[in-house]
Amino acid sequence: MDMSSITNWLQASIRLSAPLVLTSIGAVYNERVGIVNISIEGSMLVGALAAVAGTFFTGNVAIGTICAMTAGGLLGLVMAYLTVARNTSHLVAGLALNFLALGATNMGFALLFPTERTRVATYPVLSPAELRGVPFFGPVIFNQTVIVWIALILPLVSGWVLYRTSWGLNIRAVGEHPHAVASAGLSVFRLRYVGVILSGVFAGLGGSALALTDLGYFAPNMTGGRAFVVLAANVVGNWNPIGVAAACMLFGAADALQLRIQTFGSAIPYQFFVMAPYLVTVAALAGFVGRVAVPKTLGEPYDPEAI
């Protein structure tokens, strides 16, 4: 590979990883409060449709983005109600919500846009033209849309909140030892609600990044399991916002690479690059790659009366 194709690949890597990174911001919080939330796939999907619909009707990408975050957050709210208030199985609740999101977005899409593939405005590139011309950094960083920049900055903010604020400490404590949090006078239920709703909100944002980055349209099931890559990144990145974002970028890079291999061919079949994130995750879980520090009560219900 020559220099220009490497630059090109890195640019695509960062662009393709933006939806994953944005979704991971919230996913870290919901896993930290002890909830396994596979419904972020559904939140991404409704977010993508809401982003396209909102932008279509208002012509404003910012409003589309707010619609996406609201729609994703609403699904997160239902997930929170089911898992936190009703103590249902996280997995089954998430699975059912994913089915619901898939069916509902299919129907909604057909109703809103009877003519196929309505294109809407996409996220703008804000940097001045001189910066875009800078070799390497120009295309890789500056010639990216504003949502990609947000995806590059948010993990740092999220890491700061989680590790440097007292609220972040509460969030981390809930998943590790909810009873200690309760005896400190804090509401475990409220923290868990917030964690799960946040994951829906950011998954919605991730969905909007997917739909409005260079496509500008919605397609049924367009997320295609991307949220599961984010869940995998959570394991590989050890539930640390910055680590998880880095893992998302790595997985995005693998995705960008496999797209290039599909076009240009290579000795290693492209399918193996698509599989790589999942295989790395299984290896990490099995303890072959470093140490995985799973939040202690992840996936378990909280019973206020149990000691």
Partner 1 sequence: MNERETIELSGLGGLVLPYARPLLGIALALLVSAGLILATGANPMVAYAAMLQGAFGSVAALANTGVRAAPLLLSGFAVGLGYKAGLWNIGGTGQIYLGATTATVVGIIPLPVPAWLHLLLAVVAGFVGGALWMLIPAYLCAYRGVNLVCTTLMLDYVAGHLVSWLLHEPSPLAEKGTFYPMSPPILPSARLPILVKGTSLHAGFVLAVALGVVLHLVLRYTPFGFRTRMVGENPEAARYAGVDVVRWILLVLLICGGLAGLAGAGEVLGLKLRLFDYFEGFVGFEGLALAIMVEGNPLGIILAGIFFGSLKAGAGKMQIVTGIGAPMALVIEALAVLFVIAIGFGERGGFAQRQQKKTRGKEG
Q: Is 87 in the site for partner 1 (CB under 8 A)?
A: yes
CA 264 – CA 121 distance, rounded (Å): 31
Smallest distance, partner 1 to C-beta of residue 291, A: 13
- Are the C-beta atoms of residues 168 and 241 closer than 8 Å to each other? no
Give the integer Cα–Cα distance in Å for 171 and 194: 9
Cβ-based nearer residue to partner 1, 128 or 265:
265
- Binding of partner 1 at residue 275 (CB under 8 A)? yes
Residue 138 Cβ, how far from partner 1 at the closest point, in Å?
Answer: 34
Q: Select the span of 144-152, 208-216, 220-228, 249-257 touching partner 1 (CB under 8 A).
A: 220-228
Contact 158, 205 (CB under 8 A): no
9: exposed, middle or buried (C-beta count within 10 Å: 0-12, 13-18, 19+)?
Answer: middle
Exposed e or buried b for every residue in 62-77, given b needs 16+ CB within 10 A?
eebbbbbbbbbbbbbe
- Identity of the residue numbered 235: V
Using CB under 8 A, which residues numbered 37 to 66 contact partner 1?
38
Q: Is 121 in the site for partner 1 (CB under 8 A)?
A: no
Per CB under 8 A, 111 contacts partner 1: yes
| Residue 113 binds partner 1 (CB under 8 A) | no
Radius of gyration of the CA atoms of the chain, in A: 19
Applying CB under 8 A, the residues found at the interface with partner 1 are: 36, 38, 82, 86-89, 91-93, 95-100, 102-104, 106-107, 110-111, 220, 225, 228, 231-232, 235, 269, 271-272, 274-275, 278-279, 281-282, 285-287, 294, 299-301, 303-304, 306
